Amino acid sequence: MIGGRDGWLLDNRDANVDRAPSPELQANIGRLIAAIQAQGVVVVLPVFPARALVAAQYLDEPQPGESTFDAAVAQKRHDELLGWLRGTGATVLDMLAPALSIREPPYFYLRRDHHVTPTGTKLAAEAVATAIRAKGIVLPSLPTTATPAGTRSLRDEGRLKMVETYCGESPAPPEAYTIWKVTSERPTLDLVSDVGPAKVVLVGTSISGRPFQFPEFLSDALDADVLGVFTTAGGILSALQEYLRSPEWQASRPTVLVWEFAHSELFRAEL
């Protein structure tokens, strides 16, 4: 575990980005992206940086025996990741600068959990929408509005219980973040479900799940229907594989496939 100021708490998964993906993994991901794009689908990769890299300025100096984090190495690996992903021909979006631009809570990442906050996923959705529009892609219109609708609390019981057990400290209080109400001109529409062939599909980890509202924010930013496909604890490949085997993919190809690409989840694909 790595502690920090302003309530930041990280574990090895957040900081374990000091090695490059294997050549085999890079080649496999490259072939996968090429095969999808050969179907006429535009692939957009919003790359979520290592959580420790975003929180580096808040981290305490490690004590003897504690986990360490080298921000310079993490930055180098982040830049290398962007480089080889761009080499696949996909549209790659670096989310590090937007993440660092948020200097007060709620930050881009939750401070005591590995997920991106709705503030972060909203920024990512806006970046993805800008990239799609820059390509001149025209999507069927679905005027959509997002408005703040209260707050929600999240508490990573497993991580905080570990701190209490090994450090003798009381768990920190739950972390609150804003939730948003997303509505469209079709009031019965569930924005995270397929209503006819979706022209934009978002696949990813639990970062793209309902509590963090990435698909809804993308629908709002695009004013278009978005199909969200995500898996929990499945790494970066699980949801994509699920979608490529689905009836939706077999029936018709989307115009854009957005693949949420979390750097800290990349190495699960090598297990």
Distances (CA, A) of 162 to 1, 14, 65, 206, 270: 9, 16, 17, 22, 26
CA distance 80 to 20: 8
DSSP 50-89: PHHHHTGGGBPPPPTTS----HHHHHHHHHHHHHHHHTTT
Q: List the alpha helices (DSSP H) in 113-235.
A: 118-134, 157-167, 214-222
- Tell me the whole-structure pTM to 2 decimals: 0.85
Per-residue pLDDT of the chain in tens (271 residues, 90 and over written 9): 677 777 788 877 777 777 788 899 999 999 999 999 999 999 999 999 989 899 888 887 766 666 667 888 889 999 999 999 999 999 999 999 999 999 888 899 988 888 898 899 999 999 999 999 999 999 988 888 888 877 777 655 455 555 556 565 655 566 777 777 888 765 343 444 444 567 999 999 888 877 788 999 999 999 999 999 998 877 888 899 999 999 999 999 999 999 998 888 887 676 4
The 8-class DSSP code of residue 9 comes to E
CA distance 53 to 80: 14
Q: Using an 8 Å Cβ cutoff, are 267 and 236 in contact?
A: no
Q: Using an 8 Å Cβ cutoff, are 175 and 169 in contact?
A: no
CA distance 178 to 163: 26
Give the model's pLDDT for residue 194.
41
Q: Using an 8 Å Cβ cutoff, are 57 and 71 in contact?
A: no
The token duo for 4 is: 């920090």
Q: Using an 8 Å Cβ cutoff, are 210 and 192 in contact?
A: yes
Report the DSSP pairing between strands 175-184 and 256-259: unpaired
Q: Using an 8 Å Cβ cutoff, are 147 and 184 in contact?
A: no
CA 162 to chain centre: 25
DSSP 187-251: TT--TTS-SSS-SEEEEESGGGSGGGTHHHHHHHHHTS-EEEEE-SSSTTTHHHHHHHTSHHHHH
Q: Using an 8 Å Cβ cutoff, are 177 and 146 in contact?
A: no
